[in-house]
Structure 1
């Protein structure tokens, strides 16, 4: 009898504890890992780095250059260490990073900042790996005969020209997919572009905000770096 009396006295407390246990958890207070935009685990065997070369050059720097992304604003820039470089793969024409981001370019000004985004590339613009080249093509791409022209600004930021040159100095470059970490020689002869539409892109997007940390071999400066001639054997 004494036991049941104690149980009845404790009943209100037990009821309160039960109600508290089923209260929803505020997800905003949770501290999980950094969110990944896409599940990219199955594509790991197909990842590649984007190695950078001066466009059309017979000579190339001894030091390799690669594409990386600014961790906060997502703009691309040139680095010299492959450990800092971004990894990519291509799926259904979309260029996707190993961290689960799309590369989404806004060509409303006739050129675009090469940057990562949570948005898919649209307006019929697509990427492909042809021969030794990473190419970008799309409707209205007239500046590069149907292909986007990669270039690097004085601060090492990477751009793509589609319908005209940038209003600032931007040196043409080529990108070669490199699945490894050792530098590859410059790309071989460039493939012929397919017929392209004259339709003008109407995409809109952010104003270019170039990041820094440039590759010294691709910057404007008073003295040229030490180059070596490409081995044509």
Structure 2
């Protein structure tokens, strides 16, 4: 089931072997997808390139999503190498530390616009470039968090930012559905990732989530990867626009 033989996928957001993007990339590769992997900059490359080599990625390129030229180069290489793209995974988010750790009402205009640009609008820019390469349909995925719909202590401005990301997911799913392109947000509960380490008291949040979740355990990057693989498959072609909770049932507990 869920064979991805002959398909192609662009993976954005691998920082290390604890990244959600890494879990998804491994799962997609195991099902037969060919991969393109990006890394943020020269500082990140030594951490990402060995992982890309383990994935036998066809394409490995730098990508700071704020750099239009880099983004154009990535998609030009995909078109030249494969002539198509079947799956896009966007697993990045960022907010300046001084704004992330403050109250929502104290967030600076610069911090807010930076968080929205990197965490939300970059997903739209990537989808816009992916669309012409998805002539036979495709799957676009991003990563959210339940702080988008409920107040989570210390998540602060990233709550409204992720809410915007989830809303964008629904609207783009409606726009691209007629072309057979599905759009999804994966929403795992708290995971120990590099991005999460920037949030105050995140270890406490993980312990609380594991205690309250019906399964009494946190999701893993492999859990997220397994679900992402299903969404990228032909079997999920009529599923789109969802916020998919992969959290041991934590999101259903009052």
TM-score range, shorter chain: under 0.3
**More helix per residue:** 2
The answer to which structure has the higher strand fraction is 1
For normalisation by structure 1, the TM-score amounts to: 0.27
Give the TM-score, by structure 2 length: 0.26
Structure ID, larger Rg? 1
